[in-house]
Homo-oligomer: A and B are copies of this chain.
Amino acid sequence: MASTDKLSPRDRLLDAAARLSYRDGVSVGIEALCREAGVSKRSMYQLFDSKDAMLAASLERRVPWYDAQLAHPDPEAATPRERILYVFERLERASRDAGYHGCPYLAVLVELKNPEHPASVVARTVKDRLAATFRAEAERGGARDPDLLARQLLLVFDGASARAGAKVEDLRDGLATTTVTALLDAAGMD
């Protein structure tokens, strides 16, 4: 059973929603979520307006952790190229985990075909922020077309995470970093 101590019902619900919707998909039922969180359905509907709202909130809550996951541990000492490559090294590393099912934000965007869904909006902002980060690094690294390079990197990032999550591809040999290196070189980055 999940730890039900020391966290508020709200946080337990958000954690359960993040975990179960990632493992089973966004179509997971409220009943299962509440059971997992150890919170009554009644309480959850006092904390959130709807299942959709809770799902969006659970995605939003993970953003800082997600960002930290992809951020280079020593940003000052690293070059832009190293900071970009670090993102893909983390992706490759995460994909080795047995419970890895791809980037949760991309998965939500694919599962909820509706881009207007509150959870889709959150997911898209996460993707847009990663693109902005890549673009800034590309600029600092002297890429010929920073915006183009950033968009290319996201193609690889989402392609790799989707394929690894679906168990169609295995990133353990460094496929993502190898591909990114080729693109960085082609873009004229330091």
Contacts and interface: CB of A to CB of B under 8 A. Distances in A.
Contacts of A111: 25, 110-111
A182 B168 CA distance: 24
Number of copies: 2
A159 B159 CA distance: 3
Interface residue range, chain A: 35 or more
A63 to B, nearest CB: 16
B106 A148 contact: no
A157 B159 contact: yes
Interface of A: 23-25, 27, 101-102, 106-107, 109-111, 113, 115, 120, 124, 127-128, 148, 151-152, 154-160, 162-163, 165-169, 175-176, 178-179, 182-183, 185-187
